[in-house]
Chains A and B, each alone.
Chain A
Amino acid sequence: AIQMTQSPPSFSASIGDTVTITCRASQGISNNLAWYQQKPGKAPTLLVYAASSLQSAIPSRFSGGGVGTDFTLTITSLQSDDFASYFCQQYYSSPYSFGQGTNLDI
C-alpha cells in the first residue's frame, strides 16, 4: 500500500502570508494526487486534482505542484477563510490513501 506523508502536521500563519504544505508518497504516483480542504464539522472539499489542476470555483490563490513522489500545495495571500485542515490523497493505486492532514492555524 502507498503511504502518504504530509508535513508539517500543523502550521501557524497570518493573513496575507504565503504557505506551502508538502505531501510525499512512499512510491511514485505520477501526477495522481488530489488536495482537499476541511473545516471543523464539515466534509472535505476538493481543491486540486492531477497534482496541479484547480477544481472549478476554487480561488486561484491555491495552487498545486509536483510529480512522482513529492507534491506541494501553496496558498498565497492567506485569507481568514483558508484556516482549515488540508489533506492529500493518491489515486494511483488501491487502496487509495490519504495523508494524515495539515492543520493551518491563524
Chain B
Amino acid sequence: QVQLQESGPGLVKPSETLSLICSVSGAFITNKIHHWGWIRQTPRKRLEWLGSLTSDGTSYITPSLEGRITLSADTSKNQLSLKLTSVTAADTAVYYCARHIDQRRVLFDVWGQGTVVTVSP
C-alpha cells in the first residue's frame, strides 16, 4: 500500500531555511491520479494546509506563505521536498506530507507519520 515518510533536521535556527523530504513508496508521485500536499500541526494542535504539488510538478501554495515556501519533487527518488525560508518560532510544528484523494479535491487520504520541527536558537 502507499506509504509516506517525512524526514527533516528536527531543530532549525530562526531566520534559517527549513528543508524537509517526503519519501513515497507504493505509488509513483508522477501518477496523474493524485496530487501531494503538505500540512503542519502547531503545538496547539491547529492544522494548516501549506501547499500541494501536482504530478507534473506545478505547485499551489497557501497565500500566507507565498514567497517563503517552495515545493518540488525528485521523480528519480520518488520524493517530495518542502523548503521554508526565514523561519520563526511560529513555524514550530509537526509537518506532514499527504496524498490527495484525487487530482480534483484537496483532501488527504494517506498521511505520513509526521516530522517534528522546532525553531529555536
A and B assemble together = yes
- Give the interface of A toward B (CB within 8 A): 1, 32, 34, 36, 42-46, 49, 55, 85, 87, 89, 91, 94-98, 100-101
- B76 at interface (Cβ–Cβ under 8 A)? no
Stretch from B8-16, B17-25, B80-88, B109-117 contacting the other chain? B109-117
The answer on a CB contact under 8 Å between B96 and A98 is no
Q: Which of B77-121 contact A (CB under 8 A)?
A: 96, 98, 101, 105-109, 111-114
- Give the interface of B toward A (CB within 8 A): 45-49, 60, 62-64, 96, 98, 101, 105-109, 111-114
The answer on a CB contact under 8 Å between B105 and A100 is no
The answer on a CB contact under 8 Å between A98 and B49 is yes
Identify which of B48, B106, B112 contacts A43 (C-beta below 8 A).
B112
For residue B46, which residue of chain A has the nearest CB? A100
Identify which of A32, A34, A43, A87 contacts B111 (C-beta below 8 A).
A43
The answer on a CB contact under 8 Å between A85 and B49 is no
Q: How far is it, in angstroms, between the C-alpha of A36 and the C-alpha of B107 when the chains are bound?
A: 10
B107 contact set on A, CB distance < 8 A: 34, 46, 49, 89, 91, 96
* Between-chain CB contacts (< 8 Å), 20 pairs: A34-B108, A42-B113, A44-B47, A46-B107, A49-B101, A49-B105, A49-B107, A85-B45, A87-B47, A91-B105, A91-B106, A94-B63, A95-B49, A95-B62, A96-B107, A97-B49, A98-B47, A98-B48, A101-B46, A101-B47
Overall SS of chain A's interface: loop
* Distance between B93 CB and nearest chain A CB, rounded to angstroms: 13
The answer on a CB contact under 8 Å between B49 and A101 is no
The answer on a CB contact under 8 Å between B48 and A46 is no
Q: How far is it, in angstroms, between the C-alpha of A93 and the C-alpha of B53 when the chains are bound?
A: 16
Q: Which 10 A-B pairs have the closest CB atoms?
A: A43-B111, A98-B47, A95-B62, A34-B107, A96-B49, A91-B106, A96-B106, A91-B107, A46-B109, A91-B105
For residue B52, which residue of chain A has the nearest CB? A96
